Amino acid sequence: MPITDIVIVSIIVSAFAIFAIALAWGDYQTREIARTSRARAAAGANVVALVRAASTESPKHDVRKKAEASAA
């Protein structure tokens, strides 16, 4: 195999390798965003559920006390 062919093939292979690394990095970043969003959504859902449960059991002034107690 001539030297020019080796250089051309290595350039093509390195371009594919760089593209694969870029795709892997993008996938990693996307999964990290999804994990963070899921955690935020879960935390928000728990707070809403606590406030709704407390509001059905007692007057509004007790809801604030229960929410503050559960947050602390």
Q: pLDDT for 14-58, tens place per residue?
A: 999 999 999 999 998 888 877 777 667 666 655 555 555 555 555
Q: Do residues 49 and 56 make contact, with C-beta atoms less than 8 angstroms apart?
A: no
Please say if the pLDDT value at position 3 is more than 90.
Answer: yes
Q: Which residue has the tokens 């007057």?
A: 59
The total of other beta-carbon atoms located within 10 Å of residue 50's CB is 15
| Axis-axis angle for helices 3-57, 60-71 (nearest 10) | 140
Number of domains in the chain: 1
Domain residues for 64?
A: 3-71
pLDDT of residue 31: 83
pLDDT of residue 67: 65
**CA angle in degrees (0–180, nearest 5) for 6-24-31:** 180
